[in-house]
A and B are shown apart, each in its own frame.
Chain A
């Protein structure tokens, strides 16, 4: 885990606190670890859900922003559903992802951040996601071929993946939605 005075985060603008955010209730965590016990990917994470919530509850979320764990969260909502204190654990992890992406900290898993960005690029450009174009956007963002490219070829051969993208839908309206969210 990074030290408190880590220059990677110390020189960045102040990150909004997660502790006290209405609805997330991070400060109610009493470290029972039920969230991590039921998490399907806890073993793949550098910091497990209870540790991420613990940092947020202590007001030390900066320490969690470089974690790979936040990006590996599948948003399956098992932790949020089972927390005995009603902490929205998956919501806390979302808040960490949002702050990590906005702060410019080197992401703990650059491929996942690249995927999310590529996905929203595609929504903004087309209104609806076309899978083949999404893969191309991901490859450009991540600067690597999608890991499943051979699988993609097999899916294409099966006729699962349409070649022609759908026509654009409501892209002017969506541009406003994307602009309005900027700076938040």
Chain B
């Protein structure tokens, strides 16, 4: 089977505080025959600061990266929900013909789900998880093109393919407030601690995310009895039995090792 080639836009967080998301995304994609090629000279998408202060600049920052992807001639994949959202707006509002995807879009195709099912080395059946999609991966549907924006399914499908014990909960797309994390942590603490509390009530051993801002925000604001917050790609790497996962766990504020060990995954 020939490898699927995609342009890769890691975004600032994946080169900074969320390197384990970058590393796990690359590792899993490589194992599944997806060739991620990082865009040379990519620059920040502008994030919430861009569209809060200058509409024209926000669009220009996104489309600059789309032009790089157009020159490379491949679809563009972003693992960060916030980057994905800004690039998706660029796709919609500029004349660019580059298709912007989130990693979940790539991994939840029927062929990829089948390949995941075939490749499982360590099923995650002992791990109770809730899936947290957050905001910008799914909303608004005019930007993301998703029909299931109030109850998204792509991460459910991917994690079901590796046999995780997915617990239902009603907070898949409630906002964690990450954009206010630096300047208004008082507001953010209320939002994020409510999500953690609800995940615990749903019986989860951990929260699973697909965004570096959600992961960091939920992971860094917990008191003593913490609930680990993992990237879906980290768990996929475990399920596929891939080497090179050890260095990720110590970068989590709430140590996920006890939960993973208890579930027989490590």
Contacts and interface: CB of A to CB of B under 8 A. Distances in A.
A98 interface: yes
A78 B184 contact: no
Interface in A45-98: 72, 74-78, 80-81, 94-95, 97-98
B94 interface: no
Nearest to B220: A151
A120 interface: yes
A41 B187 contact: yes
A78 B149 CA distance: 10
Given A94-B51, A98-B54, A170-B41, A159 B174 contact: no
Contact of B182 (A97, A115, A123): A115
B95 interface: no
Contacts of A180: 56, 60
Nearest to A89: B140
Contacts of A158: 250-253
Contact of B60 (A40, A111, A177): A177
B135 interface: yes
Given A112-B183, A115-B182, A94 B61 contact: no
Contact of B183 (A142, A166, A174): A142
A161 B181 CA distance: 16
A184 interface: yes
Contacts of B220: 148, 151, 154-155
Interface string B123-142: 00000000000011001110
Interface in B143-169: 143, 149
Interface residues of A, number: 56
A181 B51 contact: no
A116 B16 contact: no
B183 A181 contact: no
Contacts of B181: 148
Given A81-B141, A169-B41, A114 B60 contact: no
Contact of A123 (B46, B141, B175): B46
B139 to A, nearest CB: 4
B202 interface: no
A119 B46 CA distance: 8
A154 B210 CA distance: 23
B56 A181 contact: yes
A162 B16 contact: yes
A17 interface: no
A94 B251 contact: no
B70 interface: no
A40 B175 contact: yes
A28 interface: no
Interface in B173-232: 174-175, 177-187, 191, 216, 220-221
A77 B53 contact: no
Contacts of A6: none
B43 A174 contact: yes
A75 B182 contact: no
B31 interface: no
A154 B191 CA distance: 21
A130 B57 CA distance: 20
B47 interface: yes
Contacts of B250: 158-159
Interface in B13-30: 15-17, 19
Interface string B37-55: 0000111101111111111
Contacts of B191: 40-41
B172 to A, nearest CB: 12
A94 B15 CA distance: 28
Interface of B: 12, 15-17, 19, 41-44, 46-57, 60-61, 64, 135-136, 139-141, 143, 149, 174-175, 177-187, 191, 216, 220-221, 250-253
6 contacts: A111-B183, A128-B12, A128-B15, A158-B252, A161-B16, A184-B56
Nearest first, the 6 closest Cβ-Cβ pairs linking A and B are A119-B49, A76-B175, A77-B139, A111-B183, A181-B57, A116-B49
Given A123-B44, A151-B221, 4 more contacts: A129-B12, A131-B12, A160-B251, A180-B60
